[in-house]
Amino acid sequence: MVVNTCGFIDAAVQESLETIGDALDENGKVIVTGCLGAKEGVIETAHPSVLAVTGPDSQAEVMEAIHTQLPPQHDPYTDLIPPGGLKLTPRHYAYLKIAEGCNQSCSFCIIPSMRGKLISRPIGEILDEAEKLVEAGVEELLVVAQDTAAYGVDTKYRTGFWQGQPLKSNIDELVKHLGGMGAWLRLHYLYPYPHVDRLVEMMADGLVLPYLDVPLQHASPSILKSMRRPGNQEKTVRRIEQWRSTAPDLAIRSTFIVGFPGETEDDFEQLLEFIKEARIDRAGAFAYSDIEGAPANDLPGAIAEELKQERLERFMELQTAISADKLQERVGSITEMMVDTITEDGVIGRSYAEAPEVDGVIWLDVDTDIELQEGDKFDVKISGADEHDLYAEPVID
Ligand code: SF4
C-alpha cells in the first residue's frame, strides 16, 4: 500500500500517522510519500516498520520503492496505460497542478519551508496534459497550486512553446488557452494579487468559470499584518463589489482563520462585520493551531482553545445564514449543471458555483430511468435551497 500524507497542520499529521497505522494493520507492506515524509524522522519514529519513506513529488522514488518489493513484470493488459494517464478523481473532472511551492511568507504557514519556493511547470507541458485529459473525457479542469495566480513569477514569465506557438508563461495566457479546450475551467487558491482583477474579467468573458477561490484569512488590519498578509477590510469589500460588478454571477469562496494569536474581540468583530458586508458565497473557517516551524507560534497573545471554538461557532453560524440567503436568491434561476453522481435515490451535480468536494451540491429531481452519465451537462431550474445545497428540476424544452 502507498500512503500519501499531509504534514501541514497538526490534525493532518495525526490523520496521516493514523492512516499509516491502519495500512500497516491491514497488509503490513507500506510505502509512505507526501509532505509528512519531508519532516525528518516523524514517520520512522511513529511507524518503524514502513518499507520506505519519500517526500512530496517523489514519483520516481515511490516507483523505485514499489519495484524493490514487487519487481515489474510485463503484462500486456496493465502495460496499456491510456494517454490521459490514470487518475484518482472521477473520469469527468481532474485537478491540474501548474506549480509547486510558494514565495509568500504567511506567518502561520510552513508550505514555503516544506515545499520550497515557487516552481512553475512549463506552459507547454501543462497545456499538453490538459489536452490529453480533455481528450480522455474530462469535462472540468480544476487548476491548483499553492499560489495559483503567481504562476510564472519564478521564470520571469519566460516564453514557452505549445504546438509550435510561442506563449508567455503567465496565468492570463494559461487561462486563455485552457479556457479554449471545451471543458469547464475552475481556478483554485488565488492569493489576492492586484492582477486577480484581470482574471475576473476573463470570468465575465466566459473563458473561465465565474468562481473565485480567494483565501482572505482575516479582515482586521492588525491581524493581517501579523499574518504577513495583504489587505484591509474596507478596501477588500470595495474590491469584492468591483469584482461583482464586472462578473455579476461571480461566486466567491474564501477561507479564514479565527483565534489567531493576539486576536482581540474587536478584531474578531471586524471579521464578522466583513463577512456580513462582503456576503462571501462559500466560506470555510479554521480555529488557529500552532504548526511546528511556523513563525506565528512565537507571537504573543495565544487564544484559549475554548474561546477559539466559541469564535469558530459564531463565525459558522453567521456564514451559514449568509449561505442560506444567497442560495435562496438562486431559487427560480436556470443554471447549467454537471452530473457528478447517479445513485438509486437520485442525481447529484454541481454548477459553476460549486467546486467538487469543498462546496454544496445540487440535488436533481429526475426520473432515474432517464439515461444520464457522470459528466453530462444540461440546464436545470433551481427549485429550492437549504443552508448549503440546492434542489433542481430539469428544464424541459
Ligand atoms: S500564500 Fe498560501 S501557501 Fe503561500 S505562505 Fe501563504 S498560506 Fe502558505
* Domains of the chain, each with CATH number or no CATH: 2-69 (no CATH), 93-329 (3.80.30.20), 334-394 (2.40.50.140)
pTM of the model: 0.86
What is the distance in A from the centroid of ligand 1 to the CA of 185? Answer: 23
Residue 267: half-sphere exposure toward Cβ, Cα within 13 Å: 22
- Model pLDDT for residues 193-249, shown as the tens digit of each residue: 889 999 999 999 999 999 999 999 999 999 999 999 987 767 889 999 999 999 999
Is the distance from the beta carbon of residue 146 to the nearest atom of ligand 1 less than 6 Å?
yes
Provide CB contacts within 8 A for 339, sequence distance 6+.
92, 347, 348, 349, 364, 372, 373, 374, 375, 376, 377
Q: Mean pLDDT per 10-residue run, the chain (397 residues)?
A: 88 92 94 90 93 89 91 74 68 94 93 90 97 95 95 96 95 96 96 92 96 95 94 83 96 96 97 95 93 91 96 97 96 96 89 95 83 92 96 85
pLDDT for the residue numbered 86:
67
Q: Tell me the pLDDT tens digit for each residue of 304-330.
A: 999 999 999 999 999 999 999 999 999
- What is the reported pLDDT for 369? 67
Q: Ligand 1 centre and the CA of 104: distance in Å?
A: 6
pLDDT score for 78 = 66
Which ligand 1 atom is the nearest neighbour of the CA of 146?
Answer: 3
pLDDT of residue 198: 95
Asked whether 147 lines ligand 1 (CB < 6 A), one says: yes
- What's the confidence (pLDDT) of residue 85? 65
pLDDT of residue 58: 86
- The three cell numbers locating residue 365: 429531481
Q: List 51's β-bridge partners, or say none.
A: none
Q: Which atom of ligand 1 is nearest to the CA of 217?
A: 7
Phi then psi for residue 391, to 5 deg, are -125, 140
> What secondary structure letter does DSSP report for 70?
S
Q: pLDDT value at position 72?
A: 80
Predicted local confidence at residue 81, as pLDDT: 66
Opening angle at CA 138, ends 136 and 140, nearest 5: 160
Ligand 1 within 6 A of CB of 104: yes
